[in-house]
Amino acid sequence: MKPFDGRWLCPATFAKRIPKSGDLSRVDTTEDSANSLRSSIRRLKRLQSPTDVAQITILPQQATADVADGTLLLDAGEAAGVDMEAGCFNCSCGTCVAEVVSGGENLSEPTSEELDVLDQWNKDPEKYRLTCCVTLDRGSVTLRQSH
Ligand code: FES
């Protein structure tokens, strides 16, 4: 069995061509096949990788992570390895409040619920955001956890 027949095959299709018996001796293992498989894997990775990547930095830990645009700040912080504080996860308690050190223009617009909670905590919405209800839409942001 020639798994590639000179054509591009995705790894899933390649896997289907492996005999159910698991007898790999019938699978073409020539250098051309290996190169074709590597090319297929690279193409698949490009398709799966987000092209628009944003970056979050959490202070004082100086922890950073690259995340897909539109990631919730809470999830982005966790991706950076920081144990992000949160309570309700629903934009109503204020436990997740964080100071925006830079990059506030890259965050989603505040909702009326978020503004109400920030007002209750006497936090300026220009400097503070609730990480459970704000997304990092592009670029980079640096936050300092407030609790
Ligand atoms: S966790 Fe309650 S407002 Fe964010």
Cα(134) to centroid(ligand 1), Å: 10
Q: What is the pLDDT of residues 41-71, one digit of tens each?
A: 655 655 555 558 999 999 999 999 999 999 9
Would you give the distance in Å from CA 98 to the centre of its chain? Answer: 20
Q: Determine which helix (DSSP H) or strand (DSSP E) holds 68, and give its type and residue range.
A: strand 63-68
Same domain, residue pair 57 and 88:
yes
The answer as to whether 110 is a domain residue is yes
Same domain, residue pair 57 and 127:
yes
Instruction: List the CATH number of the domain containing 71.
Output: 3.10.20.30
| Residue among 73, 92, 128 to mutate when testing ligand 1 (max atoms within 8 A of CB) | 92
- Write down the pTM of the prediction: 0.67
The answer as to whether 64 is a domain residue is yes
Q: Which of 90, 138, 87 is nearest to 114 (CA)?
A: 90
Once rounded to an integer, what is the mean pLDDT over residues 64-81?
A: 96
Ligand 1, residue 114: give the atom nearest the CA: 3
Same domain, residue pair 43 and 84:
no
Range of the domain at 110: 53-145
Ligand 1, residue 85: give the atom nearest the CA: 1
